[in-house]
Every structure is written in structure tokens, then in C-alpha cells.
Structure 1
Amino acid sequence: MRSWWLGKKKGKESWVIPSVTDGRVTYRIGHGSKDLPPSAEEDGTVGRTGARCVGCSASVDLKYVRSEGRNGRIGFDLIAIVAQGNRTRHYLEPNEEHRTAAALAPPQDSPDGPLPAEALGFRVQAYGFKRYADLFTARQLVALTTYSDLVSEVRDKVALDARVAGRQKGLSLEQGGAGAEAYADAVSIYLGFAVSRLASTNSSLCRWNSAPSKESVSDTFARQAISMVWDFAEGNVWTKGPCELTSSAGWVARVLDHLSSERSPGNARQENATKSPAAGQLISTDPPYYDNIGYSDLSDYFYIWLRRSLRNVYPSLLSTLLVPKSEELVANPFRHGGKDGAHRFFESGFNEVFQRARQTTLEDYPISVFYAFKQAETTNQGEASTGWETFLEGMMNSGWAITATWPMRSERGGRMRDVDSNALASSIVLTLRPRPEGAARTTRRGFLGALKAELPDAMRELQQGAIAPVDLPQAAIGPGMAIFSRHSVVLNDDGQPMRVRAALSMINEVLDEVLSEQEGDFDADTRFALAWFRQHGFDTGDFGDADNLARARNASLEHLERAGILSLRGTRGKVTMLPPSQIDPEWDPGTDNSISTWEVVMHLSRTLTDSGIVAASALLSRVPESIDRDLCKELAFLLFALAEDAKRAKVAIEFNALGTAWNDIVAGAGAVAQQESFDYTGG
């Protein structure tokens, strides 16, 4: 068990209480004050390093658990039932009738695809899972195979109804038809999509989300991976919610609602990008992210259900048992003889793609490239990214120059990977044009000088846009590489051409300088707070050190305490910078005669965390106009960078949230001020 919690809604908390009787584990449901909820140490029985016995608390190494799984000795038990009441959930203890109902035999004709022995993002094989069918319970397999088979039956009925309505039979959709057969094919494809999508919320890898606002079944793919889930939730496919077919079909329907019937029909083809023959193309691409995601292996999870539903509709496209993989342009070490072979394969393929694009793209239009992944590694030469290095080398070597970059909010909020994490929220769009044949050379010193001259303005533009603080280092690659790529070559001091890895390290160094130089624009109190935060964060430090820092910045510790920024009380001779959660919630900027940028950012962070964007906007609307809003946003970005560098994850998350929501907060503050002005002038 990862967690014993079932529901955490205040006043209605519920959790599982295990006990051992005669060698058998039994379960009951704990509620309210009559039972003690699990403490952090007692919540669940498994972690990253091992498990513990629920009866005697003996430790169990995960190697042993994996071995038991591979030998077929891992099973599962029904421990609780969630029932839907009148706008609330009820948690019930299962009985033998419930367990018997769950113990179905799996269908004989379940999709029979093997899981890869090793693959990027796959973790379950170590526990004995061998086939995709192993990822589902018997009831889930019965439901999914039944729905899949019904798609074919529905297709035949739709075709019959279409002919009765006057449509000619015509060719199939795969053959380019537009009559009754093609219409029935189209409807069955949409239904096949819905069934395939349903597989993601009906597997034994779906967690139960006990959060107060959720209390629901989570998706299998919280991340682009198939990881081991110990306590899983089996949803009812006939109950309204994420596990039911109508919900899945609704997502497909919403896509169709956004498609215009007045436009010319599109044409999608599955081709190898390194061999695409067409010329005169307008190109826009979101390329694979080096070794971050094993797309083809993961797609088999859905493909097996699509093939079952639609192999008679698109027999040529769905002819293989699993999807093709050999030509997939991903640095997969399991497929290409290790890390070095995977790198060579990816590098060669990317060079070929961009060289072909250079030959076939339209002369008068740029190509656009999206990127949205965060991958870094530290070497003796600084911090860089193998994925970015290979990706950008391919573009540079193929004669492309970066001419513009834009951040674009593209990643959906609320994903598991961005909850309580610093996951990227934006994509960065690069535009590329062919680099002129006579492009000038430059030296390392010339490149560094151009970076220092141009990057500060580019960073301020990004900060004032929709970019989140966590995305800024990735966004800086765009304008930095624009400088690098407009030259035919950048020469190192030894006369050798500079590689992209070295250029990326220089861009990161200049970005750090730019962020540090922004400190000079802040008031004295904020400069002191930044200097202290850089050294101590929100931890306690010596009074002497704080006094020296304050005097050097013409600040006063007593004044800073009165402002609510820090505390001189408590441990003798110690100073503590107050985090947003501990500052005065009754602070009124309208009555504060000496407001610092630091105060505004701390109070906005607290308000955003506690009460959301609307409350933060209302607070900002009362801050005097003499406080520069742009400086406040720059401070949020800088604090995020400092917290992340110091590995203060929780603090970094809070300031990233503030920087990400800043434009919405400012817009809301303007609306509040406008409404107050209207109310006043209107009497």
C-alpha cells in the first residue's frame, strides 16, 4: 500500500485500517475522531527502497518483492469500496460477495501483445508483468473487449442506416470513399478512439486520488511512463465519471465540435521524416525529445485496443500486432546497443531531417519548431543538455539560423507531474530561416559580448510575457542560440569551432548574470532580503551576519522587523527571514508608508497559495502605483532561480506559481481598480 487514505475532505475523512487475524489481513474503514488516522510514518507499507510487513513491521527489500512478482507470487485483494451518495462519497468494507464478484475469469481473447523486455519509461516488468493484458483486471478486460467488439457491430448498423437514408454504398474510408461505408467507418473510428481512451482510466495502474477536491480514479498516464502502482482503483464502467464510456466519448466529441466543416478536409499521412519527398512544404514540427519519452512502446498500450476495434476499417494501417518501432527517432539505448549507439542514431536522424527540410521548405516562409522539455546534466564545462545539444547541432549543421522565439502556454495544468513540482508549463516556439551563405564568423569573445548586450532585453521581454519562472532557462536558449546561429562559425581561443554544448553553457552563465544584475534595480530592503535569502533561505542565521548585510545595503534590521520581513525575537543573537506562510495575513498596503518590493511579493505569494488568483489581484489593487509591478515580477523570477539552485523545492514551487500567474493577477488587479473607480464616480 502506498497510502491508507481514502478521502481527506475536512470533517469526512476516511481511511483503511488493516489488521491481521489468523494469518489473514482484514480491513475496516476508519472515520473521524473514533479512529486515529495514519501518521506520516504509518501511512502505507511501501516506499522507494522497500516495504514493511503490515503484521509485524519487518522490512522487506524491493529486490525480494520483485523476485516474488517475477515468480508469479504477487496478487491483489479488494480492501475497500467507494459508493457514490448524494454529492458525497461513502467508503465501505468489502464482504465475500464483493470479492467473489471481482474474481472473474479473464476473457479468452484479450489483446495478446507482449510488453517490451526493456523500454524507456517502463517499470512494471521487474514485478512480473509480461503482457499488456497483465495491466488490467479481469473485469476491466471483460468491459474493454466487450466495448471493442461492439464498435464493429455499431459500424454495420450505421452503414445500414446510412443506406436507408439514401447514401450510396461507395468505397471504404481507407479507399477514399465518401458514401455510406465511409460514413460508417468514420463513426466507428470515433467510437474506437473513445474505447481506446477508456483503457487509460480502467487499468490496474490507476491510483485512487484521496485529495478533498478529487476523491476519484486517476489516469494511468499521469506521466509518459508505465510505473508500478501498489494500491489501485478499479472504477465502475457504468457509473458517471472518468471510467465510464460516455465521459471518454465526450472528449472525442469536444474535438469534433472544434473542427470547422467549412474548411477543406485535411490529409494525414504516416511517413518517415528523413525520407519525405515533397517539396514546397510549410513545416511546423514538435520533435521527439531525445530519450525523454518512448513514444512507440507507450502507444502499444492504446494500439492493441484500436486494432481490436478498427482493424476491419483500416486493415493496412493496423496490420501489425504492435506498432512499428525500428525507425522511431528517439535515443533509445535498449534499441540501439546502449547510450552511445542511441546518441549516434538520434544525431544522424536529426541531421538528416533538418537537411531535407532545408531542401524542401518554402523559400519565403520560416519553419517553426516547438520544444517543451527540461533536461540538464552537469559536466566540467558547466550545465548543458544532451538532447538540446544534439537537436540544435542538427539545425546549425544543416544551415539554419534561429530568427525568433516565443513562449506559448501549452502544457495542461493539474497533471501529476506538475503538481508540487517544477514541471515545464510552456512550449518555446523557434522560427528558423536558412542562414545566408556569406554569414560572418565571430570569436568566443564576440559571441560573449553579443550575449551580454542582447540577452538582458530578450529576458525582460520573456519575463513580461506568459513565461513561467521554471521555463526561463529553457526559453533563454532561443535568443541565445539566435546569436550563435546567425554566424557561420564561432571560433574558440584555440581556433577550433565552438560546439553547441559550450554555447549552451555560456548562455546559462550570462542568464545567471542577467538575473543577478536585476538586483541593482530593487530598493534597499529588497536587496538585503535577497542577499540573506541567497545565503540562508528562510532558515535562521546569526544577527551579526544580518547586521553586516543590512549596513552594506543601507537597510535597518529594526525597520525590516517592523515591516514584517524578518524576526529578531526567539533565539538570542539570531535572525529569521519570514516565509510567506508566516507573514501577517492582515497586512494592508494602503496603510503601510514604507512598502518594499519584497513585501509585495511575499504577501502576494501567501495570498495566492491560500486564496487563489482573485484574492491576490484584490491585494495587488491596493498596492500603491509607486511600486513597480514589473520589478515585482522580476523578483518572483529571481527568487525561483535562487530557490531552485539551493534545492529548496517547496519555496521554488511557490515562487514559480506566482511568476506563472503574474499576468492574470495584474489583469485582475486592473479590473478591481476599474470597478472601484466606477463605483466611486457613480455615487
Structure 2
Amino acid sequence: MSWNDTFSPRQILSLCTYVEELTETKKRLFAELPEERARAVATYLGIMADKSADYSSLLTKWDSTRNKITNTFDRHDFSFKWSHGEFDAAANLFPWGLDQVADAYSGLASLAQGEANLFEDASKPLPVSISKGSSADLRGVSSGSVELICIDPPYYDNVMYAECSDFFYVWMKRTLGDVFPDWFRDELTNKDDEAVANQARFTGLTRGKKDLARADYERKMVQCFRELHRVLRDDGVLTVMFTHKQVEAWDTLATSLLSAGFEIRSSWPVHTESEHSLHQARKNAAQSTILLTCRKREVSSEPVWWDDIKGEVRRTARKKAEEFQKQGITGVDLYISTFGPTLSILSRHWPVLTSEYDEHSGKPRPLRPETALDLAREEVVSLRKRGLLLGRTVQFDPETDWYLMAWDALKAVEFPADEARKLALALGLDLDREIISARGLAKKKASSVVLAEPWQRRRRGMVDPDLEAFDSMLDAAHTAMLLYREEGAPSCLAFLNRTGLLGDGSFRQLVQAMINAIPRTRSGKGFVRPEADILEAMRLAFFDDLEVPPEEALPVDGEQLSMAGLHEGGSDYEEDEEAEDEQD
């Protein structure tokens, strides 16, 4: 397969025609304009070609919610689109692309201008220097010369930037290769030096490619942060933006920062991510970016033991979780928002040692930051469970707690297996043995976990209307939901009366917690999730005094949801469903 295959013949013709015209135009630019200005104009015309290609490929789609074409990389990958759409390249594509680039240029130019008002003198714009290179090698920047560094680093394995950039590189090499020859010498982008956890680079090696990718990412991030530490002033500030939801990514980021000599002073959750996407409707996704404020760490004279600061970490996580929840932060964002304050405690006492000893050196093992993050997660679980029960304290079994917390935190039927495992550990459970194998609450699908619907658990024997007693309170709730769905309210009521569940206060509180945890997103006549439909019907029939949370709007049109398997009870749980790999 070649890049030519990502475009239709009609699209190739229009884009190549533009490239040919741009080549002729550049001759006139350099003949009539000063060289620096000619290079600038040619550059923006080259960017216009990339902009046009991004909106005119076989991977673009029609967004019916806003009546517009969605670009190739609306999901930061090369995914197949359900509803293809493309520009009229013969008349409208390139004028539109020119307007887009000109508008972006105007915005950048306005930001570079000094601000003025009636009470203050106009500030003079400072010189701006833009360079291309590696942040692990800032040889042109003097040590201790920078006051503020603000970075948005690669989010572990979230986006393979170099692989995506090849789409633009192959066009820009033809439009700007003669303007910037040193930048386009290679056939494609450099992926070996990229700081991302790209498992594909380690396929076929003897060790696990996941561990190798993680180690490679951490090593490169440490190199970058050490170089930033070198050029930063002693009183300077490093601000790091990070959005990734997985503890593994945060553990690697924190290890890199601490190894480079930084201390995390504060963290701020800021709502940044768009909610209007099919991808986020299907899977859990962080909506907030965490801004970490870091300074150079003073050299610690003595290491600290983890057992001595564990209580401080737990108290801090609990306090911050309560604060952020009051500010309206929910779901996976609430868990992530506690990571910054937790890492701040850790970095202030670094290095931190554990009571475990290395079998080779005989020395205490240093603490991995993920241990502290797991502790923070436990505090959020406790807080959120009380929230689902409207402030009440009710003891369910651990499996029921896991199910409630999975829906509450991750807000999706499918989510990363690592997140499911971390949540299970926080509740003292083993994901594979107890959640998946023994209880059948979920199943593995590639690198994800898919929650089981109540009726899908019947074949595992956990959901059985003939049982008089249940090992798990959730099994009883799922059995009642199964009966209501298949036989109606009378059969469900008879079951509740026969088992004594109708008057059981704990069962009543579980129904309340499930109503609060499972997303109440409407689609057409009912809710997107069939569990929410059944629970609402049971509430109206048997528990009409229970409270209900606000309903949520559907982010995309019903047709697309139906095609993706989300409408009318669609599920990715079925045994014959093919696994798919999607970026978050």
C-alpha cells in the first residue's frame, strides 16, 4: 500500500494539479519578492496544500451534526469513516483552504502584536525564534538562561505523531522540499527518535514489546527533561500539560520528571477536550488537561521511606478529590485530578524508598510513582461510592463495587484493560480471575475490557431467575433486570417479592447507585445504554421514590451510533465480535 491509496483518482488529480501550479507560482515569488518574504509566502501556500489534502482524502467523513466535512485526522489516526464526504475540489476546496490558512496567519500575527490601552504604554513585541530540532539537544540555549518553559509532551502511546505526520510530509516534500531542503532529505519522518511508546517499533524482539516501548519512552523523556532542567534558571518554572488517563502513562511521566531533578509544586485541572465525537461516546476519555507546575528540586540529603509518607499521600488525595468534585469535576477526570497533588508530595520527599529489596544489589527498591497513584485512586473510589449512594454508607461486595465504579469513572461500556485492572486492585480484586473468569462481569477484547450486559451473564450461571439467594448483590440486580426485559414487570415483581429484595434496603440502594452510575444518554425513544432503560422502568414500577440524575445529550446523530453498535442495546461484548485497536 502507498500514500496514493489514501486518495481517490479524482482527489489525486486535483491535489497534484495544485502542486504543479504552486511549483510555477514559486518561480514568480522568488523572482518578484525578497527572498525571506518569498519563502514565507511559499510556506503558507504549502501549508494550504496540506490543509486541502487533510479535507480531501478517502478518510474524510460527513459530520451530519454540524453539516460539514470532518478532516482525515479528526481522531488522530488512519481509521475508517462510516460516512464518506469530500470537498468539491474543482471549485471550492482550494479557496476554502486559502481562507483557512490566511485566517490562522492573522490570528498568529495578532498574538505577536503588543497590547495597549488608555492607562498603559503599549508593550513592545519581543523577538520570536522558532527552531526545528530535538528538545533533548538544546545546544543553542545557554544553561540557566530560560525563565519559563511550557510544554505539551507526547501522551505516552496516545498518538503516533510521526506516523500521522507522514500523510502531510509526502505532500510538503513536493511543495516545500526545494524551499527547506534540509528538512525533507528523508523519505518519511524520523520515527526512531520520537518520544512515544510505539510498540510497533519493537515487533519481533525477544522481550515484550510493550515493556520495551515503555522503557524507550521513559528514557527519551528523561533526556528531554534533563535538557530542560539545564537551560532553566534556578528560579524558573516548567509547566507540563498532560491529559492521558492511564496510570501507566502518569507513572512514566512522573518518573521522568523526578529523574531529571524536578519537583512538582502544584497542579491544575483545566477543561480542554471536545465532547462532540463518536469516539468519546464509545469509550472513556479524559476531558481535562492537568497543568503541572514544576521547579528545580533541591538535592535531598536523605531518602524517605514510603511507609513514612503514605498517610500524607492518602490525606492529600482525599482532600483534593473532595475539592475537585465540588468544582464539578467528574468521571475519569476526578481520578486524574488527584494525580498531580499526589505526585507533588512524592517529588517533595524524593527519593522515596520501599521496604522491598533488590535481589541483585541488596538495596531498597525505589518507589514507582504508580504506587502512590493507586493509593489516590482508592480514595477517589471511596468518595465516589458515597456520591452514588447520595451520601449514605452501604457495604456491597467488592465485585458490585467494581461494576459501579467502572461505570461511574469510565462512563463507557469499553475501556482500557489496564484501567480495569487498576480499579480492581483498588478494591482488592483480581481482574482476570475474579471479575472476568469467576463472575463474568466483563470480557477481554484486544487491549480493552468490555462490560457485560445482564442478559449476557445468564449463560455463565450468575444471572438465574430460579435462584433463591445470590453470591453478589449485583447478580440479584442483573437477574431482576433480565426478568423485566424478557417477561415484564409482573414477573420481575414476583421475583423481588419471592427473594425479599423488594424490601431489602441494600438492594434498594444498589438500584439507586446503578441509576446514578450508568450514563443516562438518550437516543430516540430511549437511552443509549439498555441498562439505563431497564433501570428507569424498574424505578417507575417499584422504586419511584429514588432520585434520578440529569439526562445527557447525545453527542452524535442516532444513525452513526446505530452503525457503531451503540443504538438499541448494541454491544461489543459478543463472543464473535472482532477486536479493534483505537487510540484514545
TM range (shorter): 0.5 to 0.7
Deviations 1:368-418 (A, max 9, x none): 11111233xxxxxxxx42x33222211122222211111122223434422
Distance 2:102 2:328 in 1: 30
Q: CA deviation at 1:361?
A: 1.1
Residue of 355, 361, 364 corresponding to 2:226: 355
SS at match of 1:227: coil
Aligned partner of 1:187: which letter? V
Higher relative contact order (CA 8 A, sep 6+): 2
Deviations 1:476-517 (A, max 9, x none): 211121122211233334454322232232222222123234
1:187 and 2:41 are equivalent in the alignment? yes
User: What pairs up with 1:5-404 in 2 under 5 angstroms?
Assistant: 129=1, 131-158=2-29, 162=33, 180-209=34-63, 211=64, 213-214=65-66, 217-228=69-80, 232-238=84-90, 240=92, 244-259=93-108, 260=110, 261-262=113-114, 263-277=125-139, 278=141, 279=143, 280-281=145-146, 282-336=148-202, 338=205, 339=209, 340-375=211-246, 384-385=247-248, 387-404=249-266
Distance 2:510 2:383 in 1: 24
Q: CA distance change for structure 1 residues 552 and 408 in 2, over 3 Å: closer, same or farther?
A: closer
SS at match of 2:235: coil
SS at match of 2:54: coil
Gaps of 5+ in 2: 115-124, 357-363, 405-473, 485-491, 521-530, 557-569, 574-584
Q: CA deviation at 1:140?
A: 0.8
Distance 1:238 1:221 in 2: 23
The equivalent of 1:661 in structure 2 is none
Residue of 547, 550, 575 corresponding to 2:505: 550
Distance 1:466 1:158 in 2: 54
Aligned partner of 1:290: which letter? Y
SS at match of 1:258: helix
Distance 2:509 2:536 in 1: 27
Distance 1:324 1:451 in 2: 41
Q: CA deviation at 1:532?
A: 14
The equivalent of 1:478 in structure 2 is 340
| Cα contact 2:386–2:392 (8 A) shared by 1 | no
Gaps of 5+ in 1: 1-128, 163-179, 376-383, 566-575, 586-593, 612-646, 651-683
Q: CA deviation at 1:311?
A: 2.0
Percent identity of paired positions between Structure 1 and Structure 2: 24
The equivalent of 2:366 in structure 1 is 497
The equivalent of 1:513 in structure 2 is 382
After TM superposition, the score normalised by the length of structure 1 is 0.54
Between stretches 361-370 and 470-479, larger displacement belongs to 470-479
Q: CA deviation at 1:332?
A: 2.5
Deviations 1:525-568 (A, max 9, x none): 9x9xx9999444893575356445438999999xx9xxxx9xxx
Q: CA distance change for structure 1 residues 477 and 524 in 2, over 3 Å: closer, same or farther?
A: closer
Structure (1/2) with the larger helix percentage: 2
SS at match of 1:362: strand
Distance 1:520 1:248 in 2: 52
Distance 2:555 2:280 in 1: 18
Which of structures 1 and 2 has the bigger CA Rg?
1
Q: CA deviation at 1:312?
A: 2.6
User: What pairs up with 1:638-649 in 2 under 5 angstroms?
Assistant: none
After TM superposition, the score normalised by the length of structure 2 is 0.63
| Cα contact 1:409–1:466 (8 A) shared by 2 | no
Q: CA deviation at 1:580?
A: 8.9
Q: CA deviation at 1:444?
A: 3.5
SS at match of 2:241: strand
Aligned partner of 2:551: which letter? S
Deviations 1:52-75 (A, max 9, x none): xxxxxxxxxxxxxxxxxxxxxxxx
| Cα contact 1:205–1:229 (8 A) shared by 2 | yes
SS at match of 2:37: helix
| Cα contact 2:155–2:244 (8 A) shared by 1 | yes
The equivalent of 1:122 in structure 2 is none
SS at match of 1:461: helix
Q: CA distance change for structure 1 residues 582 and 199 in 2, over 3 Å: closer, same or farther?
A: farther
Aligned partner of 2:174: which letter? R
Q: CA distance change for structure 1 residues 522 and 348 in 2, over 3 Å: closer, same or farther?
A: closer
Distance 1:289 1:610 in 2: 25
Q: CA deviation at 1:427?
A: 1.3
SS at match of 2:338: helix
Q: CA distance change for structure 1 residues 580 and 153 in 2, over 3 Å: closer, same or farther?
A: farther
Aligned partner of 1:192: which letter? G
Q: CA distance change for structure 1 residues 438 and 344 in 2, over 3 Å: closer, same or farther?
A: closer
Distance 1:219 1:257 in 2: 22
SS at match of 2:349: coil
SS at match of 1:344: helix
Deviations 1:169-203 (A, max 9, x none): xxxxxxxxxxx232222222112111101112211
The equivalent of 1:588 in structure 2 is none
| Cα contact 1:407–1:466 (8 A) shared by 2 | no
The equivalent of 1:40 in structure 2 is none
Q: CA deviation at 1:301?
A: 0.5
Distance 2:511 2:28 in 1: 81
Deviations 1:22-67 (A, max 9, x none): xxxxxxxxxxxxxxxxxxxxxxxxxxxxxxxxxxxxxxxxxxxxxx
SS at match of 2:181: coil
SS at match of 1:270: coil
Q: CA distance change for structure 1 residues 486 and 648 in 2, over 3 Å: closer, same or farther?
A: farther
The equivalent of 1:636 in structure 2 is none
Distance 1:349 1:474 in 2: 23
Aligned partner of 2:366: which letter? P
Aligned partner of 1:409: which letter? H
The equivalent of 1:431 in structure 2 is 293
SS at match of 1:326: coil
| Cα contact 2:229–2:296 (8 A) shared by 1 | yes
1:522 and 2:374 are equivalent in the alignment? no
The equivalent of 1:569 in structure 2 is none
Q: CA distance change for structure 1 residues 149 and 267 in 2, over 3 Å: closer, same or farther?
A: farther
| Cα contact 1:440–1:487 (8 A) shared by 2 | no
Q: CA distance change for structure 1 residues 551 and 191 in 2, over 3 Å: closer, same or farther?
A: closer
Aligned partner of 1:513: which letter? S
Deviating above 6 A after TM superposition, structure 1's stretches of 4 or more consecutive aligned residues are 530-533, 551-557, 576-585, 647-650
Aligned length: 424
Between stretches 196-205 and 467-476, larger displacement belongs to 467-476
Q: CA distance change for structure 1 residues 181 and 501 in 2, over 3 Å: closer, same or farther?
A: same
Distance 1:577 1:336 in 2: 43
Q: CA deviation at 1:475?
A: 2.3
SS at match of 2:266: strand
Distance 1:389 1:556 in 2: 36
